[in-house]
Structure 1
Amino acid sequence: MMTRVVVIGAGPAGLVAAIRLAEGGARVALLNKGTGGLQLGQGTLDILGYGPDRVERPLDALAGFAEAHPGHPYGVLPADLVARSANYLRDLVGPALLVGDAASNLQLPTAVGAVRPTALASPSMTAGACVDGARFVIVGLRQLKDFYPELVVGNLVRTDLPGGGRLQARAAMLDLPAREGEIDSTGLTYARALDDPAYRKRFAQAVKAVVEPGETVGLPAVLGLDDHNAWSEVAEAIGAPVFEIPLPPPSVPGMRLNRALTARAKAAGVRVVPGSKVTGFRASGGAVDSVQLATAGGDRDFVADAFVLATGGFESGALTADSYHNVHESVFDLPLRRPEGHLVHGDYWGDPQPLFTIGVEVDEQMLVRHPGGDPVYTNLYAAGGILAGATRWQEKSGEGIAVASAVRAADSILAAAATATDQGAAS
């Protein structure tokens, strides 16, 4: 008998869980109130960037990091699972969107000129690896918001690189509107313009005019939205290596990943139900029976055999806090694991804020459990940003946790369904 699963949330954890479940034979409904968190990211897959020192080989560092951080999600997500899950995501979206080796971090520039460690990245970014002796020209667009090449260069050239040494960089600015007469454009506007081969040709000619021999060209990450070969065509026309630098959210590389995974989910048979919020649930006998979705025509019940909570944390509204620092999970009102003492401290540059380690606790199968105790419901799993114990943006661990926990939750559900089927056949 085909198992029915409801996945709540369409960020990286929800999409990966839904795809893996559907490909494993489950009948899946993916419920999401918004567009998911992928577009807030960089279009890369971070496993572990800081622990607290910069990490060069994340898989090798995971066991020690988990031991030093009791209660961290990596305590129940071993390195081999993280590696398999990263490779699974890479295979889902294909080499046009993600390349690299989960065992080794790339060091890539950000839109403020910092050097950021990440495990998997778009092939349009990898020529920007920050290594000793690299020569970059960082090219900006006068009409584009939120990208200032002088800022990127000023920070890059004074940075001691993780592998030692420094790089060379200079800035250039082009006057090249994405649309005729427009003087204040977003990255998305440019990405759509660069999907057009004619505009792409003009763009490449303008960039080529400012490139010197031996330079690698850094551009804002706007080189096409739907055309995943746009960046390589630009590089070929310029005659020099090109790399994209992700902008502040919303991120065009994140949008590419989101579109690819959503399309893969639909192709796998996932029923995607967007734009509505889960407002309640029903449970009996220690298990969740259904969730209620608020729609224009009234509440709708989604009945399932298993549920995956992949709603994120505070940033998505999955966790809420009142003025007394009481924190609540918004769908199932689950018990949360929270640190002792004050949840917020005043040292901005000091230790991580304890507030952001609050979340649900899970066992090794990703079943939500009472902190230190038994499962809350026998068929409720969790994955991604709702899990307790991680400060993802400081650790640079968010996508690694999301994808590994999603794969583990999906595999646990499929294994439980197979066991139930075998037992039913035996009886």
Structure 2
Amino acid sequence: MTAQPPLAGIKVVDYSHFLAGPYLSRCLAGMGAQVIKVERPTIGDAGRTHPYFIGDESGFFLQQNMGKKGICVDVKKPAGMAMIRKLVEDADVFVENYRPGALTRLGLGYDDLKRINPRLVYCSLSAYGHTGPKSAKAGFGLIAEAMSGAMAQLGVPGNPPPLLRIPIADMYAGIHGVAAVCAALLGRANSGKGQHIDLALYDCMVSMHDYAIQCFTLSDGEELPEQVGYDLPTSTVYGVFPAKDGHLVVAAQVDDAWKRLARLIGGEALAADQRFHSSAGRNRHREEALGLIKAWTLAQPSASACIAALEAIDVPCAPVQRIDEVLADPQIEARGMVMEQDHPTLGKIRLPNLPFRFSGHSPSPMGIAPRLGEHNAEVARSLGYSDDEIAAMAEDGVLYQQPART
């Protein structure tokens, strides 16, 4: 394997906070980019105050900001703004996720920074994007999930839609940002020029619809996807089923898989029943088909017994796992999806890994997320500041550093 990661030599200024932006820049760091996280005195990234906490450390912040250098600069002071502008001079990427216009008013908008560095790829993430009637509105992932039509399809008919306990909109926008940044860097190799990437959480959620929008538009508004509960009415059998000790999912919506499943749960008679031999037929007789499967799963001694029987006939299925079961899964261990870090005060900590795998590069362990202002002096020196100048900026409040870990 080669020693160089794919983004080695790429310098990223991470001026983002909380989740979508920090996740984007964490991914870039995981692929080898040098990421310098910029925070404000004396609070820093709002993610530092987000649970789960161990001591005074936020697990949320540790996860989304590993592998980065951290500086804490007061950009409202002229010397602080000068330092950020110097940082941008040779940067490749600038990431921000503030409300549109906020950084322009500060003097760090795209037009401001491209004058300093025309090769800069400037990536903005926001709730609604930088154009349109809602662009000035504040928003979080929850807002985009609700607005997008995705939430309206979740849950049991007649009940309020549930919250997804994973931040789909933020993470999806973040990973779209990774793709867009890499594409812009590739384009820059030909044009020599950077550009502004404008990503909206709302747009990203709407783009995720694989069925609902086409269903509505191609039916001239006749079909409006709504809450369906525990299965998909248009893809029988594809859903969640109860067992005596838990739940499992079964994906037997394909004709051949259904026939194998039918033979298992109802013998040759059910396997030969022509009513269920096509997707349209299974959908028409959905309740009967689902009832037969539920009766079978509940008659088995356990969810694992159901899964063993289904896997034996090559019907796709899986247990609905809790997080403790996920962490104990040998597949997750084999893929290295939970990483271990040596934290200077917490000892060994375990956090989710990134899913990227490259045949030509074996990633090295990522560094612990920085304390607030931890790398002020190191980064300032790399920009040409003397130790005396750095000390003066700290004395003047331009630079702030949280006390060292003890």
TM score, norm. by length of structure 2:
0.25
More helix by share: 2
Question: TM-score, normalization: structure 1?
Answer: 0.24
Higher relative contact order (CA 8 A, sep 6+): 1
More strand by share: 1
